[in-house]
Structures are given as C-alpha cells and as structure tokens.
Chain A
Amino acid sequence: MATPAAAASNGAIGIAPGVHWIGALDPDLRNFDIILRTANGTTYNAYVVRGSAGVAVIDTVKEEFTDDFLRRLESVARYDEIRAIVLNHLEPDHTGALPELLRRAPHAQLYISTRAQPMLKGLLKEDTLYYQAVTTGDSISLGDRTLSFLHTPYLHWPDTQCTYLVEEKILFSGDVFGCHFCDPRLFNDAVGDFRFSFEYYYAHIMRPFRTWVREALDLIEPLELAILAPAHGPILRDAPSRYVNRYRALAESSLKNEAGEERTLLVFYLSAYGNTRLMAEAIASGADGVDGVRVSLYDLQGGEVQPFVDLIEEADGLVFGSPTINGDAVKPVWDLLSSLTAVSVRGKLGAAFGSYGWSGEAVAMIEDRLRGLKLRVPLPGVKAKLIPNADELSHCTDLGRELALHLTGRFEHKVIDMAALR
C-alpha cells in the first residue's frame, strides 16, 4: 500500500478491505495532558469497520477535531448505517466527538467496557445512558465481520479495552501500542522515525500500570495480528508483533534482581552534618540482621533521580531520611518522591526518619507523602534532635528490624485501642 501523506486528504484512509482510518491530525500540539511533550504533535485515531449487516465506528477524536472526524466518516458511511459505536477508552481525546456522533446516529448501540460506565456518565452528563457493557469473550456481529472484545483495564485508565476484528486480524488497541507522533503518512512503514515516541509514551503512560500491561499481553499475544491499530500515532501494519514483543520486554524487570526470593529494602537519606546518615546506617544495620531481607543504602546527594526510580520500582520496602531545614524535608527527597508516579509503588512498605535542629517536620511530611503514594506506613518514623544518641540510634535499629520483619511476614500481632492511634 503506497501511502505518501495518506492522511493529508480529507477522506477516510483504507487500512484493510472495508476498514478505514477516520481520525484527526494534530501536528501543532507540543504538550499532552500536561505531563507529555509532543515534539511533532499527535494523532487521534478512530476507525470504521463495514460488515454485511452494518457499520461500526471505533473511538472518536478530540472535540475540536469533530468536523475532520465526521467528514472522513461521511466519506465511507452514512449515519443510518452505523449499528455500533465502540469506545476503547473514554478519555476526552477519544470521545470528544461522541456527543455529536450520537446526535447524528441516535440508533447506534454504544459498546464500552464494564469499568467505563462511571466515566461515560461523567462525559455525557445525562441521567439515562444507553450502552452495552462488554468484556473478554463478548463479541458483536456485523454480518460477515466480528468484533471481539478484550478486557484490558488500567491501560491507562480503569475503562480501557481492546477490540479485535477477527476476520482481518486487526487489533484496535486504544492507547496501548500508541504514541504521540503525527505524520500524515500514517503507517509505521511510511512515517518518520517514531521509535523514541513509542518508548517515551510507554514510559510515561503505561509504565505505572505494568502489571496490567502484562495481563493484557497475556490476552493479546495469542492473537494472530495483521495490523495493530492504536488510538495515537502510526498504524502498525509492518511486523505488528514486534511492538507486542517490545511491550513485553518493557513490562518486565529491566535488570534481573539478584536478591531472588529475598525481600528488598532500600534506605535513602540526605545528611548535612552526618546525623541523618548515622540514623540511616543504624536502620540498615537493624534490617540487615533479619534473614531473608537484602538491604541497600543510598545517599541521595550522590545519585540521579531516574536510576533511583528504577530501583524503587523493583523494591519491596522504602525508607527515606531527611533533615528538617526551614520546616521542610530537603528538595532532593521531594524530587525523588515526586517522580514516583511514573512507576507503581502501591502497597510497598514505607517509613521515614531524620535528624532536626528545632522543629523536625520532615519525617511526618515524608510519611504523609508515602501514604499519598499508596504505600503502607505501619511503623512510626524516628526523629532525633541534632546528634542522635545511643537510645535514638537503637530506635533506628529497631525500626530497621521491624521493617524487615514486616517484609518477611514475621511481624508480631498487635492489639491496640483506637484512642492510642495518633
């Protein structure tokens, strides 16, 4: 298929017999969802599938591109032919044209994932919503064409799903396998070099959900694939399985953890006068005395944020130590803690400690942040005024040991009254 600047025209672009791209190009976008840079814009990919018994529209586009979307749709289908509207993901960049499409094709049945209903309500703001919730194993027939659904939540919202066109072996994957890369040549064998965009998109959008990515890949890998048709960026018709394999590699651990069956505890600290460092060493020492736990100690002043984020993604427990300066934890701690939304830390064990001069707010502030990141923080942190004495260092050793016992499931059962909880 020769496709020089395929999408530069106003019409639909054929990607397979009876299957067209009807999306929109947004070449001037330079920032997406605040968190992503988009060096050459993005595309909002929507598709139309024609069967002998009707037409299905798969996803729509960002609201401001509604006219482009409808013009391309009208070039290959009439509104009264549309039997099904499938939404693989309800984020506004894929549902912006939905209200107008529903107005023009009110008879069409809406298909969304079982987790999408609250979002549909939030988008359409209507009391009565007509839709069909679908999950893995469900399918709809367009006569000689079958759309089969795969329940693939949290890629990257709870509502996400993929839709497989059985006869043509096309997977309409939503945001999975997508990237922000705008090129009117549209197909991966025709566009410019988009490798960095593919990797960058995974790192910022999918990586926090890598457990869910792996579960989705378990469903996707057995499929025969002729084309991967994501909701952003190039349509992957040349060697689509290469992109599936790449996702599998990205979703696995980047470096095999030599700790094996051992639980891992990382202790991070910063120290102005060596006091918080003494506490860090005592915590590490306490944890190190427990079998089955491998402890690592890091001075945040000696490292970059990104490698630490990579380590944290793989770790079981995290301890952060910071002195209190001007009533706050110090900036390198916040730099690291604010970077952890890029990975999944939910449910990991967390704790905090630090030396202070006169007020010592840092420990509680770090604990609050750890809870905000959805870590478990079952043990109160340790604070020491200026130079930690033997008792305070002993508390640190105890904290390390108790953390290690928690990590290995050997903690002592406690019975307490609610009034005793701070």
Chain B
Amino acid sequence: MPKAKVTFEDVGVTVTVPAGTRLIEVSEKVGAGITYGCREGECATCITKVVSGHEFLAAPSVLEHQVLKDNMAPRHHRLACQAQVLGGEIVVRPG
C-alpha cells in the first residue's frame, strides 16, 4: 500500500501513514495542536495550515470547500477531519 509522510510541525513529529489516511486519524494520537469539534466537516474547528505538500492531499469535497469559504480560510488550509493523504511528504500545523 502506498505510504505518505505527515509532519505535525507544532509537536515535531513525522508519521508514516498509509495512503487514504485522514489527518484526524493521526493528529490526535501524536498530540498535535489541531483541535476538533464536530469531526464531520461542518464546524471548521480543525482548520489546518498545510505548510507544504498540499498537492499530496485529496482535493476538498464540495462541502469542505464551502465550509472553508464560509470561514474565510486562507489558501492551503484544510479541514483536518476531512483531508485525506494520498502520498508524498506533507507538513501541517494548526490553522
């Protein structure tokens, strides 16, 4: 299975994960500062800055795109509860 490397910059941890993993599945386990509310892509509590490697995340769904827009998220920000890792190396930090 393809792997990806996700670095949570605020806690200095890089995790090797299988492709398809959502950021939420890892960030809590490493104790990163990304925090969650609804966990369903609606509340925008988990807005996360993708410092690099945004192209290695699956494109946002229509719903995620709308929530990011409604919450005035800057470019290269994603909802950690929705964003799925495809491969490569990705660096994130709380948005």
Contact = CB atoms under 8 A, between A and B. Distances in A.
Contacts of B21: 418
Contacts of B60: none
A346 B15 contact: no
Contacts of B70: 114-115, 117-118
Interface in B39-82: 42, 44-45, 67, 70-72
Contacts of B16: 415-418
Contacts of B31: 376-379
Contacts of A158: 44, 71
A421 B45 CA distance: 23
B44 to A, nearest CB: 8
Interface in A218-270: none
A413 B10 CA distance: 10
Contacts of A378: 11, 13, 30-32
Contact of B13 (A114, A115, A374, A416): A416
Most chain B C-beta atoms within 10 Å of own C-beta, residue among A117, A376, A416, A421: A376
B90 interface: no
A148 to B, nearest CB: 19
Q: Identify whether the interface residues of B are mostly helix, strand, loop, or mixed.
A: loop
A407 to B, nearest CB: 12
A411 interface: yes
Contacts of B13: 378, 413-416
Contacts of A117: 70
Interface in A401-418: 406, 411-418
Q: Identify whether the interface residues of A are mostly helix, strand, loop, or mixed.
A: loop
Interface in A371-422: 371, 374, 376-379, 406, 411-418, 421-422
Contacts of A374: 35-36, 45
B33 A347 contact: yes
A417 B35 contact: no
Interface residues of A, number: 24
Nearest to A377: B31
B94 to A, nearest CB: 7
Contact of A376 (B17, B26, B33, B44): B33
Nearest to B13: A414
Contacts of B14: 413-416
A418 B10 contact: no
Contacts of B33: 347, 376
A421 B31 CA distance: 11
Given A115-B71, A117-B70, A411 B12 contact: yes
B74 to A, nearest CB: 14
Interface string A21-41: 000000000000000000000
A347 B94 contact: yes
A99 B25 CA distance: 41
A83 B30 CA distance: 53
A418 B72 contact: no
Interface string A97-114: 000000000000000001
Interface in A256-294: none
A414 B14 CA distance: 6
Nearest to B17: A418
B26 A346 contact: no
Contacts of B12: 411-414
Contacts of B42: 118
Contacts of A346: 35
Contacts of A414: 12-14
16 contacts: A115-B71, A115-B72, A118-B67, A158-B44, A376-B33, A378-B11, A413-B13, A414-B14, A415-B15, A416-B14, A418-B16, A418-B18, A418-B21, A418-B25, A418-B26, A422-B29
Interface of A: 114-115, 117-118, 158, 346-347, 371, 374, 376-379, 406, 411-418, 421-422
4 shortest interchain CB distances as A-B pairs: A378-B31, A374-B35, A421-B29, A413-B12
Given A414-B14, A418-B15, A418-B26, 11 more contacts: A114-B72, A347-B35, A376-B10, A376-B31, A378-B30, A379-B31, A406-B11, A413-B13, A414-B12, A415-B15, A416-B30
